[in-house]
A and B are shown apart, each in its own frame.
Chain A
Amino acid sequence: NFMLTQPHSVSESPGKTVTISCTRSSGSIASNYVQWYQQRPGSAPTTVIYEDNQRPSGVPDRFSGSIDSSSNSASLTISGLKTEDEADYYCQSYDSSNDVVFGGGTKLTVL
């Protein structure tokens, strides 16, 4: 099986841009789609990015996703940070056996 490694925490000021990385330990990041979920305290996760770079309806275009085969990683970028973006963010993917893996989560602080 593989792992997805995320930074434990990131912080940035309102109005700035932040990028959260998600590195796949084995197998190609491009082989299987990556999703990103936002989780606020006491709430269930909700999708901010699916299929590497697609936004569900209702998610602002300040959220974008990408993958980089050279670093075997995916990234979630949030521009024009708002205090409401403060939350935990999880990346998620799967492998050819349909085993699902979540990253450890990144706590985003907007200060």
Chain B
Amino acid sequence: EVQLVESGGGLVKPGGSLRLSCAASGFTFSSYTMNWVRQAPGKGLEWVSSITSSSSYTYYADSLKGRFTISRDNAKNSLHLQVNNLRAEDTAVYYCARIVPRGIFDFWGQGTLVTVSS
């Protein structure tokens, strides 16, 4: 069974940093492009970042470039998102999601909540 379990969210002050993690199991993690998608409270889904299976390529939403860094550790079946210089508008549930070829998000974790507030 495919499982994606996020962790690392919490309450952080504006300008602070967090490192989000996603533990994957039930599939060959190293074969898949992985992603972060976020959802602000009461809002829709916003793609954040993607990383290819061997970390050769990373992609970011234009509005987030420079503050967010995606990475993965295939030996540990884990995905990470380093988020820096956080702003109130970054408050959201951050989902880890697997993508199959062409860009279809076929499995999602339950998400981790990031709250940016003073």
Q: Do A and B bind each other?
A: no
Residues of A within 8 A of B (CB): none
Residues of B within 8 A of A (CB): none
